Amino acid sequence: MRRGAAAEARKRSPFGRKLPREFYSRETEVVARDLLGAVLCVGQAHALTAGRIVETEAYVGEHDGACHAAAGLTPRTRPLYGPPCTAYVYFVYGMYWCVNAVTRRAGLPSAVLIRAVEPLEGLELIRGRRPSVRRTADLANGPGKLCLAMGIDGSLNGESLLSHRICIREGDPVSDGEVEVTPRIGITKAVDWPLRYIVRDSQYLSARAR
């Protein structure tokens, strides 16, 4: 590679390469596991915010009562049925947004909910969006909070995760020993399915392990 090309790429982003489409075209549980340590990026340059993913949940299809696709193909769930490597951003409780990465294969609706990130970049911007929050650890330790912190809303629904508006980049790998799997949080169906993946010792989780 020409000398300076990598440095040039790094100037555009201080993090690794964008995770390719094939990364998402795998079993949803595997994608959820492998997203730990990856870096969620929103916006560019002076408007960039980025966070290390420390908590995810897999939502695995129409047979998963907690997955929105349990309702079948509707206007809301449409992105889940589309190609992997797209953002599924939905509105909950009349007030908050949550962001997912669509996974596996088109037509088999499944996705990974990003539940918590450790802020890495754009701290001033994030603080400005979360004025009432004191501790850094509380800025993005929940699916609604991280969308507030990073400025994610419905305008990003259906966007490619390779776009400049929102993408996920390779980060420092997380070893199996650092990963813990637990039941998902905040749901009322399939409550015991072990589909939540966390970086066990992170200070940035939405909840402590049970």
Partner DNA sequence: ATCCGGATCGCCT
Partner DNA sequence: GGCGATCCGGATG
- Name the residues that contact DNA, by CB under 7 A: 57, 59, 66-69, 71, 74-77, 80, 88, 91-96, 98, 100, 111, 113, 130, 132-133, 138, 142-146, 148, 184-189, 206
Question: By C-beta, is 23 or 59 nearer to DNA?
Answer: 59
Q: What share of the chain is helix, strand, coil (3-state, %, to 5)?
A: 25, 25, 50
d(CA 77, CA 135): 35
Instruction: Tell me the CA distances in angstroms from 57 to 8, 83, 196, 200, one per residue in order.
Output: 34, 19, 4, 14
Q: Is the separation of the CB atoms in 120 and 51 below 8 Å?
A: yes
For DNA, the closer of residues 86 and 100 by Cβ is: 100
Number of Cβ within 10 Å of residue 93's Cβ equals 7
The smaller minimum CB distance to DNA, of residues 15 and 57, is found at 57
Contact 115, 142 (CB under 8 A): yes
Q: How near is the Cβ of 9 to DNA at its closest, in Å?
A: 31
CB of 34 to DNA, least distance (A): 17
Beta carbon nearer to DNA, 13 or 28:
28
Least distance in angstroms from the C-beta of 37 to DNA: 20
Q: What is the closest distance, in whole angstroms, from the C-beta atom of residue 14 to DNA in the complex?
A: 26
